[in-house]
């Protein structure tokens, strides 16, 4: 009889013990699949939000801006923007462009102050870039060149704006112009935005690009240019490097970076994802300890069988292989069940998401949505499955080698 048949027979004969061992592997595998699914979802969500709302895939701004970023240096902007934008969007692998003017401001109302992060944007471009139709929950987008704006829903609630009044909802903003002098201007709120990132809803104000250029005395200037690229041709780092090589000397006063180079938090999250491999190993070793313990118990319980098999001519390596095959089949089934359960949970939560509520509102720099959607990576899932089977199976070698050294006579005496 083949060893595999004997191993399967032994598994079926001791079902309770087999189920216990398989369950430990299943739970460990499911936990790691979910852990990696959570990290995959978090990273995908952060990448999407960061690229869409903050930096694009390639971020272009004045080379001195970052140095004085905390001082609100609106005077450090991109000049001759129209010609500059045409140069960057001329590349066929640049799929979308966002032109933005950024300014920090304050609204004074009813003896209270409200901070605002304003953006002048080209709404015809931004509708596709930011997917504004997905976040516009009330009203409409401003007309080009108008003194109109859309604001985040939380900021609107604090200001008492809901667009239901017959009278126009107007707000006056104090900010700084490009010549470093202060400026008051008034805009009419015509729409409300509900971003998936909570922190944006409490400070964001969008207005037409030409209006912001006029208010801030930027003429044909921009604070930043954001690019989306075709990743099938170039990833963000490669695209940024190529633009630096080809356009860097032409625009020496500009800083051209990929979003990965500007976002340190995302880079740290990527490092954390690698650290989680250590946690995965810990979970599998923990789950495999059940197999080790049950295998040791099996050796003492099956002394008669070991003695009989030894008397029939089965020796060292064959006994080791027999116990290894039993553990392999148990871990294979357990890992398969655990992986499938993990996939089902990821797909289920992937549709509805896990609500984070107000947890993310005060976390600056984390471009995470209000809902956590788990992500399924086929590569990671397959690696976890193979990883769990391999570790659980190899963990039986220690007790199996002990069984292989038992002499048939000693085993029969222990009956």
Bridge partners (DSSP) listed for residue 188: 148, 170
User: Residue for token digits 């104090």?
Assistant: 174
Give the containing element (helix H, strand E) for 112: strand 112-121
Residues in the chain: 415
Distance between CA 146 and CA 166 in Å, rounded? 20
Find tokens 């729409």 and name the residue: 191
Paired with 172 in beta bridges are: 186
* Digit-coded pLDDT (tens) for 265-278: 666 666 666 666 66
Range list of β-strands (E), 122-232? 136-139, 148-152, 169-176, 182-193, 204-208, 224-229
pTM for this structure?
A: 0.75
Cβ(339)–Cβ(33) under 8 Å? yes
Buried residues in 237-257 as b, exposed as e (16+ CB within 10 A): eebbbbbbeebeeebeebbbb
The pLDDT value given to residue 411: 47
Task: Tokens for 215, please give them.
Answer: 């208010």
Question: Tens digit of pLDDT for each residue in 140-154?
Answer: 999 998 999 999 999
pLDDT at 335: 86
Burial class (CB in 10 A: 0-12, 13-18, 19+), 405: exposed
Residue (of 205, 180, 192, 179) closest to 117 by Cα position: 205
User: What are the Cα distances from residue 138, in Å, to 162, 191, 205, 255?
Assistant: 8, 5, 14, 37
Show the beta-strand stretches assigned E in 232-326.
254-258
What pLDDT score does 300 carry? 59
Q: What is the pLDDT along the chain (415 residues), one digit of tens a residue?
A: 577 777 777 777 777 777 877 787 788 788 888 888 887 887 788 888 888 888 899 999 999 888 887 777 888 899 888 999 999 999 999 999 999 999 999 998 878 889 999 999 999 999 889 889 889 999 999 999 899 999 999 999 999 998 887 788 899 999 988 888 888 899 999 999 999 888 888 899 999 999 999 999 888 899 999 999 998 899 988 999 999 999 989 999 999 999 887 766 666 666 666 666 666 666 666 656 666 666 566 655 655 565 566 566 666 677 777 777 877 888 888 889 999 999 998 888 877 777 776 655 555 555 667 777 788 888 878 888 887 787 777 766 766 666 556 555 554 554 5
pLDDT at 269: 60
| Domains of the chain by residue range | 3-50+266-413, 58-230
pLDDT at 262: 76
């Amino acid at each position: 009889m083949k060893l595999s048949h004997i191993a399967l027979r032994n598994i079926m004969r001791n079902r309770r013990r087999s189920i216990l061992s398989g369950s430990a592997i299943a739970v460990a595998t499911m936990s790691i699949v979910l852990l990696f699914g959570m990290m995959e979802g978090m990273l995908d969500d952060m990448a999407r939000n960061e690229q869409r709302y903050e930096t694009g895939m390639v971020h272009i701004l004045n080379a001195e801006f970052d140095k004085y970023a905390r001082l609100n240096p609106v005077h450090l902007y991109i000049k001759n923007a129209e010609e500059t934008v045409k140069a960057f969007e001329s590349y066929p692998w640049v799929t979308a462009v966002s032109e933005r003017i950024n300014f920090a401001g304050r609204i004074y109302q009813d003896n209270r102050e409200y901070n605002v992060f304003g953006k002048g944007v080209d709404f015809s471009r931004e509708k596709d870039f930011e997917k504004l139709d997905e976040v516009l929950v009330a009203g409409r987008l401003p007309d080009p060149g108008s003194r109109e704006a859309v604001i985040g829903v939380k900021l609107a609630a604090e200001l008492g704006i809901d667009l239901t009044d017959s009278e126009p909802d107007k707000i006056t903003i104090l900010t700084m112009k490009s010549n470093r002098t202060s400026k008051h201007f008034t805009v009419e709120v015509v729409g409300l935005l509900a971003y998936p990132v909570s922190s944006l809803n409490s400070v964001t104000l969008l207005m037409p690009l030409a209006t912001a250029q006029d208010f801030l005395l930027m003429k044909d200037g921009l604070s930043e240019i954001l690019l989306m690229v075709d990743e099938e041709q170039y990833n963000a780092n490669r695209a940024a490097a190529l633009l630096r090589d080809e356009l860097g000397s032409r625009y020496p006063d500009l800083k051209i970076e990929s979003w990965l180079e500007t976002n340190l938090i995302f880079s740290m999250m990527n490092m954390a994802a690698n650290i989680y491999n250590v946690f995965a190993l810990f979970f599998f070793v923990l789950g495999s300890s059940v197999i080790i313990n049950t295998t040791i118990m099996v050796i003492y319980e099956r002394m008669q069988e070991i003695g009989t098999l030894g008397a029939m001519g089965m020796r060292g390596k064959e006994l080791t292989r027999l116990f290894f095959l039993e553990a392999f089949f148990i871990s294979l089934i357990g890992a398969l069940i655990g992986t499938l359960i993990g996939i089902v949970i990821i797909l289920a939560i992937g549709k509805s998401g896990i609500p984070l509520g107000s947890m993310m509102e005060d976390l600056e720099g984390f471009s995470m949505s209000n809902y956590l959607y788990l992500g399924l990576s086929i590569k990671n899932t397959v690696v976890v499955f193979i990883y769990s089977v391999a570790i659980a199976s190899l963990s039986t070698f220690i007790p199996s080698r002990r069984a292989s050294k038992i002499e048939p006579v000693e085993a029969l005496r222990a009956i």
